[in-house]
Amino acid sequence: MSKTLLKLENLTMKFGGVTALNEVNLEVKEGEILALIGPNGAGKTTVFNVITGVYQATSGSVLFDGHNLVGRKRFQITGLGVARTFQNIRLFGDMTTLENVITATDVHKKSGLVGSLFGTPRARREERENRTKALEILEFIGIDEYSDRLAKNLPYGVQRRLEIARAMGTTPKLLLLDEPAAGFNPQEKVELATTIKKVRDAGYTVLLIEHDMSLIMGISDRVAVLDFGTKIADDSPTVVQNDPRVIEAYLGVPADAS
Amino acid sequence: MKNFNLRDFGADIWERSNRPVRVAIVIVVIGLVAMMPYAGAGFLATPIAAYDAVIVYPVAIFVLMSLGLNIVVGKSGMLDLGYVAFFAIGAYTMGFLGIHTSLNTWEIMPIGIGLAMLAGVMLGLPTLRLRGDYLAIVTLGFGEIIRIVALNVSWTNGPNGISGIPMPPDIGPLKFRLDDQKVFFWVVLAMILMTIWMIRRLSVRRPGRAWEAIRQDEDAAELMGVPTLKYKIWSFTLGAAVGGAAGVLYGSKNLFVAPEMFTLNVSILILACVVFGGIGNIWGVIVGGVILGYLPDRIRFISDARLLVFGLVLVVVMNFRPDGLLPRKKREKALVKKGANS
């Protein structure tokens, strides 16, 4: 059994009187693709926001690679090795594709403002390293032909892929993908599934929010289901697919049963 | 479909040149600008005010301050309505130390810059967590606080201001004289060049990317590992440093500083230079500073109507070019080079 990379323990998130997450326990193992599914409003994106420090959990803890992430600043969490994409694309539109990724690669670099200003050897070396690494990532994701295009002018599908590439720029151990296939046609979804598998095979651990069942069943090692902020299932895709509670959450209870 | 575009035209020439040609272009341009004080005889002459004084203040000082404010407003997207405060801190540092100590302008310069930066950090730490309109209001208040403090404490001489500030000592054969301000112009020009160098250096490296990311989407930037507060404070502080330097030069040129020189109007006017010229674009900001600094003195002959005309020019230009005269727009190099189109 591979080791646990991320562990959510009794994670509760309340917004005023609304309980968005209720005592959620979740483990992500190193090197797996874990899909997080659930009906709209189930709290999936909230889980991402708590992990990445956008929200401070009301109670419970987020253990990642030996660190408790609760209470840490967002950029520090990224520095520890958690990166995410956004459900609504949030690229730096006025930057080129390459610059978007380079901006993310900066997180592990030491040189600051003074070094950059005077062009110290370290700053120059780090600039070169960033560039090389960013180009490698773009090639890996398969969007290197767009590297000098402004992000806002890219086709939609490329923007979605750039979101993943930018997140990979931070050298994460854990990659959180928030509906990466939203708005994709079936063909694009197939391509994306291949990409995500490729990302996993390259050594990244993936936690994925997605609505498209065929995509999830095709690539995930495990599926966790949230409903109204509570985890109702957590097992292999086939088991989850046939779990009556999951079917109920998605489709409701049959009329004759109630 | 090939419409002429000054930015692309200039950038094409630049990109096609090799290093010696680029150096030559830079030297020629700097040389031409340095000749500006001699161009005052013909069309450019300003009625009433002396031309060589006008191109130092307002023109060159405005350009310098606009470049400084552009780091804050243009690069990292924070609206600062109190930029005059840093200018005032620089000018008062020059005034106070100039008459109470034997330090000369060049020795006071780093102190003025340092104090302005310190003020930037002190203002930035608590307030830069705010965004947009809220930040604008707080900075506006800060600008007014500095002016009101200068008006009310005794060591600034209150409303009477500080007079008798010494001129800078001569630099070899270059002499600072009241009736011939060429040397002042060259000094400010040197500061402008240093500021441009600094901004260009930082823009293509990590701090520039961090600012750009913060400007476009602060939350996304933070989640991509950019320590946003740190870079916002840096941006604010560098802007303050340039403003402080401009203030020291201004105090030393004007020989007199008083609170009424540092009103909100100055902040707004410098912001107007930035927006008018092209927010975020160094060359646009310079053009903005030159035009808005120079125009009111050039049309001084129409006396009372000049501010009306000035306002009209602003409105008309902003209508036709809402992003400024030379807007920030990045070129997509790949499109040009590889001829790719999709």
CB A151 within 8 A of CB A91: yes
Tens digit of each residue's pLDDT (9 = 90 or more) over A206-227: 999 998 888 999 999 999 999 9
Name the phi and psi angles at A214, rounded to 5: -65, -35
Query: Which residue segment(s) compose the domain that A245 sits in?
Result: 4-81+172-257
Separation in Å, CA B328 to CA A128, B3, B106, B285, B331: 26, 18, 35, 10, 10
B306: in domain: no
* B34 alpha carbon, distance to own chain's centre: 18
Same domain, A74 and A178: yes
* B226 with A149: Cβ contact below 8 A: no
Tens digit of each residue's pLDDT (9 = 90 or more) over A128-162: 999 999 999 999 999 999 999 999 999 999 999 99
Distance CA A55, CA A46 (A): 8
Which two structure tokens, joined as six digits, stand for B114? 């340092």
Same domain, A176 and A252: yes
B34: in domain: no
Best of B194, B206, B233 to disrupt the A interface (most A CBs within 10 Å) is B206
Distance CA B30, CA B154 (A): 43
Nearest to B209 among A84, A99, A148 (CB): A99
Nearest to B213 among A86, A92, A127 (CB): A92
**Hey, which residues does A15 pair with through a beta bridge?**
A18
Residue B29 has pLDDT above 70, yes or no: yes
Distance CA A63, CA B161 (A): 60
Put simply, the chain A residues between 69 and 98 with a CB less than 8 A from any chain B CB are 73-75, 78-79, 83-84, 86, 90-96
Same domain, A20 and A77: yes
Residue tagged 């933070």 (tokens): B222
For the domain that residue A219 is a member of, what is the CATH number? 3.40.50.300
Distance CA A165, CA A145 (A): 13
Give every residue of chain A whose pLDDT is below 50, as ranges: none
B225: in domain: yes
Query: Which residue segment(s) compose the domain that B95 sits in?
Result: 50-259
Q: Above pLDDT 70, what percent of chain B?
A: 94
Number of domains in chain B: 1
Radius of gyration of chain A (CA): 19
Distance CA A212, CA A91 (A): 23
Using an 8 Å CB-CB cutoff, list chain B residues near A153. Answer: 332
Q: Which of A73, A140, A138 is nearest to A107 (CA)?
A: A73
> Is the preceding peptide bond at A172 cis, omega within 30 degrees of 0?
no
Distance CA A168, CA B100 (A): 58
A65: in domain: yes
Tens digit of each residue's pLDDT (9 = 90 or more) over B227-284: 999 999 999 999 999 999 999 999 999 999 999 999 999 999 999 999 999 999 999 9
Residue B339 has pLDDT above 60, yes or no: no
Number of domains in chain A: 2
Same domain, A8 and A44: yes
- The residue-averaged pLDDT of B330-337 equals 54
Nearest to A116 among B205, B212, B342 (CB): B205
Last residue of a domain, one of A112, A133, A163: A163
DSSP code, position B257: E
B84: in domain: yes
Best of A78, A116, A130 to disrupt the B interface (most B CBs within 10 Å) is A116
* B212 with A92: Cβ contact below 8 A: yes
3-class SS at A104? helix
CB A107 within 8 A of CB A78: yes
- A84-88, B175-179, B214-218, range with the lowest pLDDT: B175-179
A88: in domain: no
Nearest to A127 among B198, B205, B333 (CB): B205
Nearest to B209 among A106, A145, A150 (CB): A106
Same domain, A118 and A158: yes
**Hey, which residues does A26 pair with through a beta bridge?**
A8
Using an 8 Å CB-CB cutoff, list chain B residues near A79. Answer: 225
B126: in domain: yes
Using an 8 Å CB-CB cutoff, list chain B residues near A171. Answer: none
Same domain, A70 and A137: no
Last residue of a domain, one of A146, A163, A180: A163
Residue B319 has pLDDT above 80, yes or no: yes
Put simply, the chain B residues between 129 and 158 with a CB less than 8 A from any chain A CB are none
Same domain, A60 and A115: no
A242: in domain: yes
β pairing state of A4-15 and A18-29: antiparallel
A87: in domain: no
Torsion of CA A6, A9, A15, A21, to 10 degrees: 90
* B224 with A148: Cβ contact below 8 A: no
* B223 with A149: Cβ contact below 8 A: no
Using an 8 Å CB-CB cutoff, list chain A residues near B206. Answer: 106, 109, 111-113, 116, 123, 126-127
Last residue of a domain, one of A114, A142, A163: A163
Enter the pTM of the model.
0.91
* B219 with A90: Cβ contact below 8 A: yes
A86: in domain: no
Q: Is B223 on the interface with A (CB under 8 A)?
A: yes
Q: Helices marked H in chain B — which ranges?
A: 6-16, 19-34, 51-54, 61-70, 84-100, 105-127, 132-152, 182-203, 206-216, 218-223, 228-254, 264-277, 282-298, 306-320, 333-338
pLDDT at B342: 37
Same domain, A149 and A49: no
Q: Is B211 on the interface with A (CB under 8 A)?
A: no
Separation in Å, CA A2 to CA A5, A6, A190, B50: 9, 12, 28, 79
Same domain, A178 and A252: yes
Chain A: residue whose CA lies nearest to B198: A117
- The residue-averaged pLDDT of B190-218 equals 95
Residue B200 has pLDDT above 90, yes or no: yes
Using an 8 Å CB-CB cutoff, list chain B residues near A155. Answer: 342
B78: in domain: yes
Q: Which of A234, A173, A183 is nearest to A51 (CA)?
A: A173
Same domain, A151 and A203: no
B233: in domain: yes
Chain A: residue whose CA lies nearest to B225: A75
Residue B75 has pLDDT above 90, yes or no: yes
Tens digit of each residue's pLDDT (9 = 90 or more) over B113-134: 999 999 999 999 999 888 888 9
Burial class (CB in 10 A: 0-12, 13-18, 19+), B2: exposed
Same domain, A149 and A119: yes
Distance CA B99, CA B12 (A): 51
> How would residue B334 be classed by pLDDT, with cut points 50, 70 and 90?
very low
Q: Is A204 on the interface with B (CB under 8 A)?
A: no
Same domain, A102 and A75: no
pLDDT at B239: 97
Separation in Å, CA A201 to CA A7, A31, A241, B165: 21, 8, 25, 70
Using an 8 Å CB-CB cutoff, list chain B residues near A166. Answer: 224
3-class SS at A176? strand
Count of residues for chain B? 342
> How would residue B43 be classed by pLDDT, with cut points 50, 70 and 90?
confident
pLDDT at B132: 82
